[in-house]
Amino acid sequence: MEALEIARWQFGITTVYHFLMVPLTIGLGLLVAIMHTAWYRTGKDQYLRMTKFWGKLFLINFIMGVATGLVQEFQFGMAWSEYSRFVGDVFGAPLAMEALLAFFVESIFLGLWIFGWGRLPKAVHLLSIWCASLATIASAYFILAANSWMQHPVGVEMIDGRPVMVDVWAVLTNNTLLVAFPHTIFGALSVAGGFLLGVSWYHLWKRRRDGIDTVGADGRVVVGSDPARGRDAADHKVWLRSLRIGAVVAVVSFAGVSLTGDLQAKLMFDQQPMKMAAAEAACHDGTGFSILSVGDLGSNDCSDMVAVAELPGMLSFLANGDFDTDIRGINTLLPEYQERFGTHLPDNPIYGERAGTEIDYVPVMEVTYWGFRIMITFGMLAAAAAVVALWVVRKGTVPESKWLMRLAVFGILAPFGANSAGWIFTEMGRQPFVVAPNPDPDGIDNVFMFTAAAVSPGVSLAELIFSLSAFTLVYGALLVVEVKLLATYCRGGVPSAMPELLHGSTAEGAEKDDDGGPDGGTGGRGKDSGADDVLSFAY
Amino acid sequence: METLPTVWFIVIAFFWTGYLFLEGFDLGVGMMMRGFARNNTERRVLLNTIGPVWDGNEVWLITAGAATFAAFPQWYAALFSGLYLPLVLVLLALIFRAVGIEYRGKVDSDRWRSGWDWAIALGSLVAAFGVGAMLGLTTTGLPLDANGDRVGGAFAWFNGYAVLGGLAVVGFCLVHAAAFLALKTDGDVRLRAKALVLRWLPVGLLPMAAWAAALVLRNGKTVTVVTLLVAAVGAVAAWLLAKAGRDGLSFAGLGIFLVAGTVTIFTAVFPTVLPSTLDEAFSLTVESASSSDYTLGVMSVVALFGIPAVLVYQGYTYWVFRKRVSSSAIPAAHAVVAQ
């Protein structure tokens, strides 16, 4: 083990972890803003309940994203100081823009929204969730601008061996960014869609199981009521509406993810052909998309790789839009890379002890090959399940089957898996470069950096082992806490965010035109004491 | 002297000052979750004074870090990698604190709350100390080689200035938080917070004053003597105003102390952003550490638009939640039960 490997594991673990929270934040934030808008416009009770319930879950998740995001901002300098020095002129700018233009908005307006129930004018309160939600999306844009620059450096000139920004517009309109951004947002929405679907399914199922809702002779739901526990007719509407919204969002976002993913792949065949060849474990040139390739992927050795099943012409279609273009395989690409970037790391002090070692231009194929396929499979499964779910609930509720319910709940994980797999694929596929060189005409050819040169020279192996262990342990423990808390609040249903529903008055529409009123505060349990100069909150 | 790097040095000093002024009190309130607050209701009063604003305050830290990356990559790389271990602890502390503030009230159990109270208190303490140590060291130096990398091992950064900087920020946060609570709460909490200001203000502000004074002596710029005096006046005024029961003005007095103090510190070290204790030639300066003029120009446009906007909407948040929080207004906790 050397420092470089530990630093890479640390970046991978902290980033993948951070990105478990991020897509749910982006996707759910937007959906909560839409629910809040629906309540604002119609005044219907179920929309208020939806806003509060999903809003509560959004917040439980949001804070973990914030907390782990801090690590992202700091760790470039901490563990990757050579990288920070090399790219600082161009890479720091989008990060600083994110902080100044997006993250401030997100944090401050979310604070206003959480504590603004019953305190802000209704329109301002609604505006605050929209500001927060749109800022999370803007955040994604700036961060992806930085990441896309690593995939496809643009807008710079090499001066004294370092890329110096000469065109910020090129960085902010990088073609890699323009497809990665919608791809990521759709991916985030698919996570939120699956989340709504799974949780709502559980509650519709629970209502049936507890004998509240029944099914009539025509198969239509007969909605019952258990007002003592807040499970009245409006409660049924909350879950049915949420389920349908979740399913529609899941289907639409899958369409979006597919379209943008296709564009992304076409770009990537140009910009990082080796990444795409490794995604296919494609050793030889050809047109076929591998369904199953046999051989020892782990050995990264092309000599024993055999594609057992292929879709002829499909790879060509993915890359080029036709069926008969030969796509270059690893055996063709490898000599090209070696010729252009050398076979061994240069004898330069920035490579430390790694100077002079042989460069492996082929990314770890078992990761790229399976990462690519897991992403697509999980994405497709989630979308297919959403279509089925829409059909199943057409008569107003879900079947009594416990297994179907479990499937819906565990199905929440599929889009998360697709998101993680996609990121692991694209980041691992960029190796051995941290800044990938671009052979395509509009790329800037000589801008690249080997990952081996990027790590902090002054930070010792022991320090990295300590931090990797500490982050992994803490993150692991906090994941358990977050998931348990989310599960508790999910199971609690709407009253977990609106406890007043448990205490009697559940007359439908009671809060129609009441701005939170006596139920103000985050959890709705705040009570204005009447004194003008006193605030009460629910922390 | 190049203009844009100097402007960005000022901008970054501004972000740090804003961070210390805003998160200063919410870190201090966090520390006071144990020790000062006597029961669950008081702890909830404390949390609710910072509830709507702490996350926005923390963004000042992120922005200070990100702006340093964008404007002075050499400074960012040398400082953050040089202080690797302390920053790991700061990050973990901030994580525990943030999650604690949000999760503490989510389960109705004494054990759960008590665990998160400790997480918030210790997290706030470690974060404040670590950030203070980092600022102390960037003004007094690290053992950096020609490339800007720390030499001498994982603890080579540790010295008296790290401790002084750490104590300076912790002390300031506690005093600032006490003044903030005197301003934002009612009843017993308010009285005790006020007593705390009167008793501990001189002690709490002393390390920061000592740090600033040490830099004035080391670097010997006349103007810093003046700003240091202004800081002292601010501190004295804060104490006298607290005594007179003028909570708001006393809090403002602390603001003057902080702003004059950080102006003293950053002016004293200018144009050096991070001295090397090994060889003066290896020290990073505003010019040697900065990004290109083009990048700084772009970032200036962003800052020119972004900073005033932040001040406006963050100011609006403080205005919306300007009322005092009182123990009598804290509603009962409720348990979440499965349906």
Please write the tens of the pLDDT for every residue from B45-91. Answer: 999 999 899 999 999 999 999 999 999 999 999 999 999 999 999 99
The shortest C-alpha distance from B311 to chain A (Å) reads: 10
The shortest C-alpha distance from A127 to chain B (Å) reads: 13
pLDDT at A328: 82
CB contact under 8 A, A96 and B149: no
Work out the burial of residue A169: count CB atoms within 10 Å of its CB; fewer than 13 is exposed, 13-18 middle, 19 or more buried: exposed
| Closest residue on chain A to B302 (Cα) | A97
pLDDT at A199: 97
The shortest C-alpha distance from A81 to chain B (Å) reads: 5
CB contact under 8 A, A536 and B329: yes
Residue of B16, B47, B49, B91 to mutate for A, most A C-beta atoms under 10 A: B91
From the list B78, B92, B321, the residue facing A81 with the nearest CB is: B78
In this structure, the strands spanning A289-294 and A162-165 are unpaired
From the list A93, A210, A470, the residue facing B298 with the nearest CB is: A93
pLDDT at B333: 76
Q: Does position B339 have pLDDT exceeding 80, yes or no?
A: no
Distance of alpha carbon A35 from the chain centroid: 21
Please state, in angstroms and rounded to a whole number, the distance separating the CA atoms of residues A310 and A292. 7
Distances (CA, A) of B335 to A51, A480, A488, B21: 20, 20, 10, 36
CB contact under 8 A, B88 and A466: yes
Token pair in block for residue A435: 């800044």
CB contact under 8 A, B76 and A88: yes
**Ramachandran region of residue B246, left (φ > 0), alpha (ψ -120 to 50) or beta?**
beta
Per-residue pLDDT tens digits for B5-15: 999 999 999 99
From the list A59, A74, A499, the residue facing B80 with the nearest CB is: A74
pLDDT at A441: 54
- Is there a contact between A168 and A356 (Cβ–Cβ < 8 Å)? no
Question: Biggest alpha carbon distance in chain A?
Answer: 80
Tell me the residues of chain B between 291 and 320 that have a Cβ less than 8 Å away from chain A. Answer: 291-292, 294-295, 298-299, 302-303, 306-307, 310, 313-314, 317, 320
What backbone phi and psi angles, to 5 degrees, belong to A242? -60, -40
State the ipTM, two decimals. Answer: 0.94
Please state, in angstroms and rounded to a whole number, the distance separating the CA atoms of residues B64 and B68. 6
pLDDT at A281: 77
Distances (CA, A) of B8 to A95, A105, A238, A406, B289: 16, 22, 51, 55, 11
Distance of alpha carbon B223 from the chain centroid: 24
Q: How many CB pairs under 8 A join A and B?
A: 292
Instruction: Tell me the angle at which helices B73-82 and B110-140 cross, rounded to the nearest 10 degrees.
Output: 120
Per-residue pLDDT tens digits for B147-177: 999 998 899 999 999 999 999 999 999 999 9
Task: Give percent above pLDDT 70 in chain B.
Answer: 100
Angle at B325 between CA B321 and CA B331, to 5 degrees: 110
pLDDT at A516: 36
Please state, in angstroms and rounded to a whole number, the distance separating the CA atoms of residues A300 and A370. 13
CB contact under 8 A, A492 and B336: yes
CB contact under 8 A, A104 and B317: no
Tell me the residues of chain B between 8 and 27 that have a Cβ less than 8 Å away from chain A. Answer: none
CB contact under 8 A, A84 and B77: yes
Task: Report chain B's terminal Cα–Cα distance, integer Å.
Answer: 68
pLDDT at A85: 94
Task: Report chain A's terminal Cα–Cα distance, integer Å.
Answer: 45
**Contacting residues of B for A210, CB less than 8 Å apart:** 339
Q: Is B336 on the interface with A (CB under 8 A)?
A: yes
**Contacting residues of A for B186, CB less than 8 Å apart:** 534
Please state, in angstroms and rounded to a whole number, the distance separating the CA atoms of residues B228 and B224. 6
Strands (E), A216-362: 221-222, 289-294, 306-311
| DSSP string of B113-149, one letter each residue | HHHHHHHHHHHHHHHHHHHHHHHHHHHH-B-B-TTS-
- Is there a contact between A291 and A311 (Cβ–Cβ < 8 Å)? yes
Q: Higher confidence at residue B92 or residue A372?
A: B92
Per-residue pLDDT tens digits for B103-135: 998 898 999 999 999 999 999 999 999 999 999
Mean pLDDT of B270-291: 93
The shortest C-alpha distance from A449 to chain B (Å) reads: 16
The shortest C-alpha distance from B42 to chain A (Å) reads: 12
Per-residue pLDDT tens digits for A274-325: 888 888 877 878 777 877 776 666 666 676 677 777 788 878 877 777 777 7
| Closest residue on chain A to B73 (Cα) | A88
Q: Helices H, strands E: what count in chain B?
A: 11, 3
pLDDT at A118: 86
Please state, in angstroms and rounded to a whole number, the distance separating the CA atoms of residues A13 and A25. 19
Please state, in angstroms and rounded to a whole number, the distance separating the CA atoms of residues B126 and B121. 9
**Contacting residues of A for B306, CB less than 8 Å apart:** 100-101, 104
**Contacting residues of B for A60, CB less than 8 Å apart:** 102-103, 106
Please state, in angstroms and rounded to a whole number, the distance separating the CA atoms of residues B254 and B204. 11
pLDDT at B318: 93
Q: Does position B313 have pLDDT exceeding 70, yes or no?
A: yes
- Is there a contact between B141 and B274 (Cβ–Cβ < 8 Å)? yes
CB contact under 8 A, B88 and A467: yes
Per-residue pLDDT tens digits for A35-47: 999 999 999 999 9
Per-residue pLDDT tens digits for A429-475: 998 999 998 765 555 667 889 998 999 999 999 999 999 999 999 99
Angle at B178 between CA B173 and CA B183, to 5 degrees: 120
The shortest C-alpha distance from B187 to chain A (Å) reads: 11
pLDDT at A445: 65
Per-residue pLDDT tens digits for A366-398: 888 888 888 999 999 999 999 999 999 999 998
Instruction: Tell me the angle at which helices A3-42 and A175-209 cross, rounded to the nearest 10 degrees.
Output: 60
Average pLDDT, chain B: 93
* Strand partners for A215: A221
State the pLDDT confidence band at B101, using cuts at 50, 70 and 90.
very high
Residues in chain A predicted with pLDDT less than 50, given as ranges, are 505-532
Please state, in angstroms and rounded to a whole number, the distance separating the CA atoms of residues A23 and A140. 10
pLDDT at A226: 87
CB contact under 8 A, B291 and A539: no
3-state secondary structure of B276: strand
Please state, in angstroms and rounded to a whole number, the distance separating the CA atoms of residues B255 and B261. 10
